Structure 1
Amino acid sequence: MSLPEPNSLTSAIRSSSRSAREKSGISIPLEAIVRLLQSSAFLSSFERVSAQHGLALPLNFASPSDELNVISLLSLLNFGSGYRVPLHLETGRGTWDNIRLLIFSMYIGASEEDFLSAKGMQQLTETKIAELMRINVYVEKPHKDIPGVTVGELDGPLYELVKLISGVLIQTGQLLEKAGYPSLGAFVIEALKEGARQSKTHTSDVQVVLDRLIRFIPAFQDSHTVDGQPVYLFKKALFLVHAITIRFGSLSSPPFPIPDTSQIPVFADNVLPSLLIHLGVIQLPPSKLFRSIFPDANSPDRLKPLLSEVEVISDSKPHESLSVPTEGPILTTDQACILRAAAVDACEMIVEKAHELNEPPWLQNMRLPELDMWLWSVAKDRTDYRKLERFVLKNTVFF
């Protein structure tokens, strides 16, 4: 699939997402947006929860470039949402926390083997990744020749996830080494500097940076063809540039150029569309394509408690102690792409309407990345939200 021109990259995300959403018959009623924006659930939590970005890393970094490399790897591997339930069963943690643990383990073990370098990324075998993630990727199966005897074989959903992670690390490491970059972070720094050279302001041009990331690294090329039309989403690349802004943008003297991410589209995974469906904003048509997906999501009896203010999960109730989440509907690639596109478009409409309402006053300053962070974080902030099903797409490295 051809990629958009750098200067039209974010507009291509928006326009292709809206087109995919409209062609599928998915509606986003303005009254549903206003209902959400005026709900107790939203008003009581937005300012607090939207600041919970999960990027405060409990590691001691030797330099800003080392931290940037870790954030870049964390963004590169920010996928695996389709394996949420098996990961909870195995570790008691969700996908994001398991990927964070992997990155932490790679960083802590870097004194012996530099897994964080381009060369080291290629040395991470499937067995080593499973060890660093502390997960079991063996499944007991009957012995082919000896009745009553079982043997452990590499198989199952977690092994599938480990293979995806290994494939992304090896492929990316090979590309970086061939191009002369010692690490992913080194490549990202060069992309930031290139964005600054082409920018007419003092910040790095976010579209130039995104374009460099997407064109060079296949694992960032999150675009799909649905009914012959391209749909551009680029979730992980958008996440990375905003993570850089969050971690380094507030410094008085940033160590490298920082992109302005205040106007970029949201980072659509499976959480955003699933939650927006449950909250009544995204409304699916009764077509064959969507008939069996969250069929009771828009009923008033379900919506009322979800839009009301409730007690949130406190620090005394660690997430690991909560019950294993229920597996959501398993979708095709086209279905997942269209719902993610609908989330991109819905968030554009939500922010636009929030600025019109301007009450309370802080709505006037709401930005898309903040709305993204609220949706992603509030899904874990409330016990009832954590129980909501999220759709599932396995065997993808994009979300």
Structure 2
Amino acid sequence: MAHPLPEQSDNLLADIRSSSRSIRERAGITIRPESIQRLLQSPSFLTSFQRVSTQHGLTLPLNFSSPLDELNVISLVSILNFGSGYRVPLHAETQRGAWDNIRLLILSMYIGSTGGSEDDLLSAKGMQQLTESKVAELMRINVYIEKPHKQIPGVTLGELGGPLYELVKLISGVLVQTGELLEKAGYPSLGSFVLEALKEAARKSKLKHISNVQVFLDRLIRFFPAFQDSCVIDGRPVYLFKKALFLAHAITIRFGSLTSPPFPIPDTSQLPVFSDNVLPSLLVHLGVIELSSSSLFQSIFAEAGFEQKVIALLAEPTSETYVDKATLPTEGPCLTTDKACILRAAAVDACEMIIEHAHETDEPEWLKDIRLPELDMWLWSVAKDRADYRKLERFVLRDTVFF
């Protein structure tokens, strides 16, 4: 499958926005101003946004030896920030979702590394040693399924297989490929590549008067296949680049507030949202993205968007809203790659429109200052913050390393 890239780095963010709006409109997906305003003025949004939008989940309980050491870990978390399609089997096995399992994997890699040698699993050399069995061991998950013996009745055999084995293969594939690319190019770690890309972005932004974040993102997506999150639908490219955008903003969150940052910080204030399966699914349930007008999506989320259900979800949360967070999530509708891409693009465009309306709203005053990355964080975090939101179905796409 082709993963097209923008022709010029200085148009990268505009290409994400324009391609997302174009495919959303061609698919017949509706986003009405009154639905956006209903969300912005809802008790759910107003009572939770300022609290929940700061819950980024990037803080790791590790004692880093240097800023570069921490940058390497943040970069690895970002390039492995996928697996959403395996949310239900992961919860059944570990009681954790994809994001928390990836964090656990990175923690296990860090703790299991000696540093400065091939035993350092977070180095370019070490990443190449992360076979499927090693990844499964570090994640503490079972990748065997029981099958009846073909010749002996009543006897079962354990064989590699099942959804978690699929996920482990994807993770191992990204780690090994990334390590090989880094070592071939002379980089000892992913963090060292990212550091050079940050410095290059700072230099070029001064010389060419383009935003440093676009130069940084362009460097990432052209070098690493695992960051080339795009698709072609009806002969037209759609650019999303969720993980690359996430990494840029993660660096800003962690190091941008320091008095003297250890390396150049990208300006992520105008980034599009980092669209996965959570953002579009939640925006459908909250009545912002309307699928009833699209012939492609009329049967998806059949019960979502009904007026009474939307009103209940947007109501002020009660004490009961936050209980029962341990309930096993239910599997959402499984989509094709193209349909998943279209819905993710619709979420990118919807969030652009939400921010536009927020900045034109008089009350409350703080709405005029919210930015797209904060809206992204709110949608992603509030989906886990409330028990009734956690129960909402999210669409599923497996066999992808992009979200």
Superposed counterparts of 1:325-340, under 5 Å:
325-340=329-344
Residue in 1 that maps onto 2:306: 299
Distance 2:291 2:131 in 1: 42
Following superposition, the deviation at residue 51 of structure 1 comes to 0.5
Q: Secondary structure at the match of 1:153?
A: strand
Residue in 2 that maps onto 1:257: 264
Q: Are 1:105 and 2:108 an aligned pair?
A: yes
Residue in 2 that maps onto 1:273: 280
Please say which of residues 19-28 and 106-115 is displaced more in the overlay: 106-115
Q: 1:179 to 1:312 in 2, by over 3 A?
A: farther
Superposed counterparts of 1:1-399, under 5 Å:
1-4=3-6, 5-111=8-114, 113-200=119-206, 205-311=212-318, 319=325, 322-399=326-403
Q: Could you tell me which amino acid in structure 2 is paired with residue 230 of structure 1?
A: P
Q: Could you tell me which amino acid in structure 2 is paired with residue 380 of structure 1?
A: K
Aligned length, in residue pairs:
396
Following superposition, the deviation at residue 143 of structure 1 comes to 1.7
- Does the Cα contact within 8 Å between 2:285 and 2:304 map onto a contact in 1? yes
- Does the Cα contact within 8 Å between 1:74 and 1:100 map onto a contact in 2? yes
CA distances 1:305-343 after superposition (whole Å, capped 9, x unpaired): 10011136999x695xx1100100000001100000000
Distance 1:336 1:165 in 2: 20
Q: Secondary structure at the match of 1:208?
A: helix
- Does the Cα contact within 8 Å between 2:77 and 2:103 map onto a contact in 1? yes
- Does the Cα contact within 8 Å between 1:196 and 1:203 map onto a contact in 2? no
Distance 1:314 1:207 in 2: 40
- Does the Cα contact within 8 Å between 1:137 and 1:156 map onto a contact in 2? yes
- Does the Cα contact within 8 Å between 2:321 and 2:386 map onto a contact in 1? no
Distance 1:311 1:140 in 2: 43
Please say which of residues 256-265 and 109-118 is displaced more in the overlay: 109-118
Q: 1:332 to 1:48 in 2, by over 3 A?
A: same
Gaps (5+ residues) in structure 2? none
Q: Secondary structure at the match of 2:147?
A: strand
Distance 2:374 2:320 in 1: 20
- Does the Cα contact within 8 Å between 1:25 and 1:285 map onto a contact in 2? no
- Does the Cα contact within 8 Å between 1:87 and 1:93 map onto a contact in 2? yes
Distance 1:129 1:309 in 2: 42
- Does the Cα contact within 8 Å between 1:203 and 1:260 map onto a contact in 2? no
Distance 1:26 1:167 in 2: 35
Following superposition, the deviation at residue 285 of structure 1 comes to 3.3
Q: 1:286 to 1:361 in 2, by over 3 A?
A: closer
Q: Secondary structure at the match of 2:55?
A: coil
Following superposition, the deviation at residue 362 of structure 1 comes to 0.6
CA distances 1:284-314 after superposition (whole Å, capped 9, x unpaired): 1354421221122111121111001113699
Normalising by the residue count of structure 1, what TM-score does the alignment of the two structures yield? 0.96
- Does the Cα contact within 8 Å between 1:192 and 1:204 map onto a contact in 2? no
Distance 2:247 2:319 in 1: 28
CA distances 1:53-106 after superposition (whole Å, capped 9, x unpaired): 101111110001000000000000000000000000000111110110000000
Distance 1:323 1:40 in 2: 25
Q: Secondary structure at the match of 1:152?
A: strand
Q: Secondary structure at the match of 1:357?
A: coil
Q: Could you tell me which amino acid in structure 2 is paired with residue 182 of structure 1?
A: P
Normalising by the residue count of structure 2, what TM-score does the alignment of the two structures yield? 0.95
Q: 1:358 to 1:331 in 2, by over 3 A?
A: same
**Percent identity (aligned):** 74
Where in structure 1 do 4 or more consecutive aligned residues deviate above 6 Å?
A: 201-204, 312-315
CA distances 1:157-212 after superposition (whole Å, capped 9, x unpaired): 00000000000001111000000000000000000000000123999700000000
Q: Could you tell me which amino acid in structure 2 is paired with residue 396 of structure 1?
A: T
Distance 2:210 2:229 in 1: 25
